[in-house]
């Protein structure tokens, strides 16, 4: 069954339970239910209070549900760009540590020793219990140059096949049709002949990316076409760019760009040419705007770091907790540090630990949203207190006569507590019902609003989401009902006590 139905069934059951409590409060003497309902029916303010509470609860249902959806979507996107575990060093190209190959002076000999050390590390890491696959990488900043434009970007050198096994790298690569659609989305939306031309081109473009060809061009390089549509003689190393890098600089797949960078030893490599072999979209603007992927060998050669790497991404086997595997990897890294192959301060961290500040920020936003919406509901609950307080003043004569005729102190208290519970339950029931309906159909409502007014409450180009993510948490809804009903009882007790201990002679005398 759909989780949405579970939330509806669970909430309905809990509200029914609260109605049972209200019934038990008024049960026992006929005048209790009669007076409670009569006082509520005859006051317009009672209906207004129900509406105020209902609409405040609507916001308390919708806002956390949308925030939960955004939080889950955010976690999934962060999770997709990172592996289960990562090991990296204190410097950009820390592995292997310099002392492990310092005795070798010849460049080729140094590279051979570095690669042998790394191959042994890869083999032993794959043998660690719980490790499914690893992917070494090189990270380094660079400067991009194209048509007199200069800007910064971030390079990642990796083996595309291995990277796809440890992250969702392969899933983020876009098809030619999707690239064209995003590249010209404003012109397509504008309508007219230009949009019709783009739509005709989209129909002729492949709707799925040729992953194998893209990986081959990243690993082996590619000979692009010149301005005369003739294939160039020289083969350039391939680079995969973010879709907004492509769009911002008005580039196309097959264009040549120039990159400059520097190694950790301040050796500068200027104006190396690369050919764009494809584009990706991770869902985060910064990576999609500034991150470039190339093969591990191309990156090492470009940055001039011999066979060294920046770190290793690790994928855990299904059924293994990343934290448990981290302990085993951490033990192996400690032996490498002791052997002088890895530098000190080479941590092994899970993806959550690496981006813990981002995840904490999202969690704090969720808490703030709940606090703000809860304050709205508590403010709305104040209307119950005011209404019941006014009722005590207006019905002082009736209450005096009631007590003179034998009404008990507890009976009068139950009348006002019962009013508070009924008003709250009606408002909460209205709010939760309406809130669940709006939450479940939020995207349809947003689409209608966009079609009628031209304004979209959650623009896809701003949030990089094709639809508004909504995640209804039945536990949160239960908390809403529980806290709201409890608050209503507490607020209703105060005027109820005032009415219950009203002196009947004084009440009748002044009336």
User: Using an 8 Å Cβ cutoff, are 423 and 46 in contact?
Assistant: yes
Of the candidates 311, 333, 354, which is a domain's last residue?
354
Regarding whether 48 and 12 lie in a shared domain, the answer is: yes
User: Using an 8 Å Cβ cutoff, are 273 and 208 in contact?
Assistant: no
Provide the CA 317 distance to its chain's centre, in angstroms: 24
More confident residue, 181 or 22: 181
Q: For the segment 405-423, what is each residue's pLDDT rounded down to a tens digit? A: 666 667 777 777 777 778 8
Predicted model pTM:
0.75
User: Using an 8 Å Cβ cutoff, are 131 and 314 in contact?
Assistant: yes
Q: How far apart are CA 266 and CA 99, in angstroms?
A: 19
User: Using an 8 Å Cβ cutoff, are 436 and 7 in contact?
Assistant: yes
Residue 173's closest CA among 165, 183, 184, 164?
A: 164
Percent of the chain with pLDDT over 70: 84
**314 domain residue, yes or no:** yes
**194 domain residue, yes or no:** no
Regarding whether 401 and 310 lie in a shared domain, the answer is: no
Provide the CA 432 distance to its chain's centre, in angstroms: 24
**Confidence band for 400, pLDDT divided at 50, 70 and 90:** low
CA angle, 369 then 371 then 373, to 5°:
70
Regarding whether 291 and 156 lie in a shared domain, the answer is: yes
Q: C-alpha distances in angstroms, 29 versus 158, 402, 478?
A: 78, 13, 31
Q: In this model, does residue 15 exceed pLDDT 60?
A: no
Regarding whether 140 and 254 lie in a shared domain, the answer is: yes
Q: In this model, does residue 362 exceed pLDDT 90?
A: no
Residues facing 261 on adjacent strands = 269
**Confidence band for 19, pLDDT divided at 50, 70 and 90:** low
> What phi, psi does 349 have (nearest 5°)?
-130, 150
Mean pLDDT value across the chain: 83
**505 domain residue, yes or no:** yes
Regarding whether 248 and 330 lie in a shared domain, the answer is: yes
Regarding whether 410 and 455 lie in a shared domain, the answer is: yes
Regarding whether 297 and 373 lie in a shared domain, the answer is: no
- What the block records as the tokens of 184 is 């010209």
User: Using an 8 Å Cβ cutoff, are 326 and 315 in contact?
Assistant: no
CB within 8 Å of 381: residues ≥ 6 apart: 53, 424, 484, 487, 488, 491
Regarding whether 348 and 284 lie in a shared domain, the answer is: yes
Regarding whether 59 and 143 lie in a shared domain, the answer is: no
Of the candidates 354, 388, 414, which is a domain's last residue?
354
More confident residue, 254 or 74: 254
Q: For the segment 233-286, what is each residue's pLDDT rounded down to a tens digit? A: 899 999 999 999 999 898 999 999 999 998 767 777 788 999 999 999 988 888
Q: How many residues does the chain have?
A: 511
Among all chains, which residue has been given the structure tokens 């869902």? 283
Q: How far apart are CA 480 and CA 291, in angstroms?
A: 43
| Sign of the alpha-carbon dihedral angle for 47, 53, 55, 58 | negative
Q: How far apart are CA 239 and CA 365, in angstroms?
A: 37
Regarding whether 452 and 348 lie in a shared domain, the answer is: no
Regarding whether 303 and 379 lie in a shared domain, the answer is: no
Average pLDDT over every residue of 377-387:
79
pLDDT score, position 293: 97
Regarding whether 229 and 346 lie in a shared domain, the answer is: yes
Give me the domain span that covers residue 416: 3-77+359-510
Q: How far apart are CA 210 and CA 296, in angstroms?
A: 20
Q: In this model, does residue 434 exceed pLDDT 70?
A: yes
**101 domain residue, yes or no:** yes
Average pLDDT over every residue of 10-33:
59
Q: For the segment 475-486, what is each residue's pLDDT rounded down to a tens digit? A: 777 777 777 777
Q: In this model, does residue 465 exceed pLDDT 90?
A: no
Q: How far apart are CA 227 and CA 255, in angstroms?
A: 10
More confident residue, 416 or 308: 308
């Amino acid at each position: 069954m759909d989780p949405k139905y579970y939330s509806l069934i669970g909430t309905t059951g809990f509200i029914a339970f609260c109605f049972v409590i209200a019934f038990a409060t008024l049960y026992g003497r006929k005048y209790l239910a009669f007076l409670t309902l009569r006082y509520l029916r005859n006051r317009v303010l009672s209906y207004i209070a129900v509406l105020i509470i209902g609409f405040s609860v609507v916001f308390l249902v919708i806002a956390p549900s949308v925030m939960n959806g955004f939080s889950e979507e955010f976690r999934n996107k962060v999770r997709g760009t990172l592996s289960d575990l990562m090991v990296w060093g204190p410097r950009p190209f820390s592995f292997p540590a310099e002392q492990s190959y310092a005795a070798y002076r010849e460049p080729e000999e140094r590279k051979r020793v570095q690669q042998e050390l790394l191959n042994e590390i890869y083999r032993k890491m794959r043998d660690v219990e719980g490790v499914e696959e690893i992917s070494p990488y090189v990270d380094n900043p660079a400067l991009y140059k194209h048509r007199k434009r200069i800007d910064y970007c971030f390079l990642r050198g990796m083996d595309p096949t291995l990277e796809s096994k440890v992250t969702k790298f392969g899933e983020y690569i876009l098809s030619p049709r999707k690239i064209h659609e995003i590249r010209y989305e404003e012109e397509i939306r504008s309508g007219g002949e230009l949009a019709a031309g783009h739509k005709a081109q989209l129909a002729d473009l492949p709707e799925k990316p040729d992953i194998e060809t893209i990986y081959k061009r990243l690993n082996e390089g590619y000979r692009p076409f010149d301005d005369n549509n003739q294939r160039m003689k020289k083969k350039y190393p391939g680079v995969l760019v973010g879709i907004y890098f492509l769009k911002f600089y008005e580039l196309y797949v097959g264009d040549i760009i120039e990159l400059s960078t520097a190694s950790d030893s301040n050796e500068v490599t200027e104006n190396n040419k690369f050919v764009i072999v494809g584009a990706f979209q991770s869902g985060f603007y910064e990576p999609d705007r500034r991150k470039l992927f190339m093969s591990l060998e191309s990156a090492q050669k470009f940055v001039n770091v011999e066979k060294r790497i920046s770190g290793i991404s690790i994928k855990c086997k299904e059924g293994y907790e990343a934290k448990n595997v981290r302990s085993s990897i951490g033990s192996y890294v400690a032996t490498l540090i002791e052997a002088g192959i890895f530098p000190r301060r080479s941590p092994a961290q899970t993806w959550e630990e690496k981006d813990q500040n981002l995840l904490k920020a999202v969690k704090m936003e969720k808490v703030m949203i709940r606090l703000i919406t809860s304050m709205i509901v508590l403010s709305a609950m104040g209307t119950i207190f005011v209404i019941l307080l006014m009722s005590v003043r207006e019905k002082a004569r009736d209450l005096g006569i009631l007590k003179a005729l034998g009404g008990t102190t507890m009976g009068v208290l139950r009348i006002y507590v019962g009013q508070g519970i009924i008003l709250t339950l009606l408002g909460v029931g209205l709010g939760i019902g309406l809130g669940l309906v709006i939450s479940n159909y939020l995207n349809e409502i947003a689409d209608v609003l966009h079609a009628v007014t031209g304004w979209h409450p959650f623009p896809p180009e701003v949030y990089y989401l094709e639809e508004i993510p909504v995640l209804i948490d039945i536990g949160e809804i239960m908390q809403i009902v529980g806290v709201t009903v409890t608050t209503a009882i507490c607020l209703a007790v105060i005027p109820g006590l005032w009415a219950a201990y009203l002196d009947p002679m004084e009440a009748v005398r002044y009336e």
